Amino acid sequence: MPVLEDIKSANEEYATEFDKGQLPMPPGRKFAVVTCMDARLDPAKFLGLEEGDAHVIRNAGGLVTDDALRSLVISHNLLGTQDVLVIAHTDCGMLTFSNEELQEQLGTDIEFHPFSDLDESVRASVERVRESPICSGSVHGFVYEVETGRLREVA
């Protein structure tokens, strides 16, 4: 497995110079990010983050699902985050299929949460956080443009 060997080698090199083992558990900049798992997105780079700065929760579509909300609640109530950023992106694969198509293709009843409107999906996720009685603080929505590397705020 060349990929596994590459990963092990890269980690060994990283660990030889690792000096951040004493970072505190709560994120230093007191915010959490929900964003897509797309490999073209590197939230640390496009948000200027270092280890220990923020919680980054990733899933297909960057949606505030039940599990993302669970993580946000823990982040806020146990680890002190105050703000949430929901970040979707252009050219997202979640725009390319319907739930029914994928369920039929795979023979499953899993809910995949595809969407047809990028900005509306961001607004719905932002609203889900805002409506949660167990999260407070500011919540902002953005679209990351994979073509330019820029964030666009969603009203």
pLDDT tens-digit map of 117-150 = 999 999 999 999 999 977 778 999 999 999 999 9
Long-range contacts of 128-132 (CB under 8 A, 24+ apart): 128/64, 128/69, 129/64, 129/69, 129/72, 129/84, 129/86, 132/69, 132/72, 132/73
Residue 116 DSSP one-character state: S
Which residue in 141, 152, 149, 147 sits closest to 62, CA to CA? 141
Mean pLDDT, rounded, of the chain: 96
The mean pLDDT of 24-49, rounded to a whole number, is 98
| Separation of alpha carbons 111 and 71, rounded Å | 19
Residue 20 DSSP one-character state: -
Which residue in 137, 126, 24 sits closest to 81, CA to CA? 137
pLDDT at 28: 98
pLDDT at 2: 86
Question: Can you tell me whether residue 16 is helix, strand or coil?
Answer: helix
Check whether 37 has a pLDDT greater than 70: yes
What domains does the chain contain, in order, with CATH numbers? 26-154 (3.40.1050.10)
**97-112: pLDDT as tens digits:** 999 999 999 999 999 9
pLDDT at 61: 98
Could you give phi then psi for residue 151, rounded to 5 degrees? -95, 140
Residues contacting residue 145 through CB under 8 Å, at least 6 positions apart: 89, 90, 151, 152
